[in-house]
Amino acid sequence: MKNDLPKKWIHNLKVLDIAFQPILNINTGEIFGVEALLRNYKEVGFDSIFELFDEVYRDNLLYSFDIKLRKKALKKFITIEGYEDIKLFYNLDNRLLDMPNFKHGNTNKLLKRYGVDKNSICFEISERHEISNTSGMEEVLEHYKEENFCIAIDDFGVGYSGYKLLYDSKPDIIKIDRFFLTDIQKDVKKKIMTRSITNLAIGLGIKVIAEGVETKEELLTCKDIGCHFVQGYFVQKPTLNAKEIQNKYRHIADAKK
């Protein structure tokens, strides 16, 4: 895909960086994947990642910009030791299909260029901000599932589609929102709801990531509930240094009551 971005956004892309946060098997502490997280957005004049993407969307450049970000993420992903055996979780903006230059095949071209297997990519889609336009999310889900990519629903449980989304799209993975996991060991309602979501997902053949886990107590409760994977500060904070990503995290594997 040719570079059709103006100088402003080319400059912004050079300043922006990718941090990785590991996602682990909750029982063994072995790495399952990493989430790519955008950093340095304040250095290019934005208070949040959402503000940045809103502006690039208004400029009608969202797809072109996102493809360049995918390239940046993949280029850094392959510097992780053992990257061939883990997944890269990449967040998609649900408005991508609104762009006039959106087309099939660009992701596969990038994967081929960097020698990354298609099974190593998992696209994350969030329903948190879908208030007036839920169809955008459903269309993006459908598109990438038709392309046979792994799909994860981020922030599950705090959006507006909820269980209907599971029924309609059947993602490969859901990430339970941190709201339900904060001090879950002390909150009976959160524990019941998280267990219910997890059991439903397991029944549908969907894997569950406990996202945003910050304490040992939260980890142990999520493990007891049956979550498959864990992500959060208790595992490791996002890092700009790909060499800090480990194959196994002993403090997760050894965590006991």
Model pLDDT for residues 209-238, shown as the tens digit of each residue: 999 999 999 999 999 999 999 999 999 999
Contact 166, 174 (CB under 8 A): yes
- Look at domain 12-253 and name its CATH class: alpha beta
Report which residue type is found at 239.
T
Q: Which residue has the higher pLDDT, 155 or 174?
A: 174
Q: Which residue has the tokens 């992903």?
A: 77
Confidence tier at 206 by pLDDT (50, 70, 90): very high
pLDDT of residue 72: 97
Contact 151, 173 (CB under 8 A): yes
Select from 123, 131, 206 the least CA-distant residue to 163: 206
Exposure pattern of 109-131 as b/e (b: 16+ CB <10 Å)? ebbeeeebeeebbbbbbbbeebe
Confidence tier at 132 by pLDDT (50, 70, 90): very low
Burial of 237 (0-12, 13-18, 19+ CB in 10 A): exposed
* pTM for the full predicted model: 0.93
pLDDT at 133 over 60: no
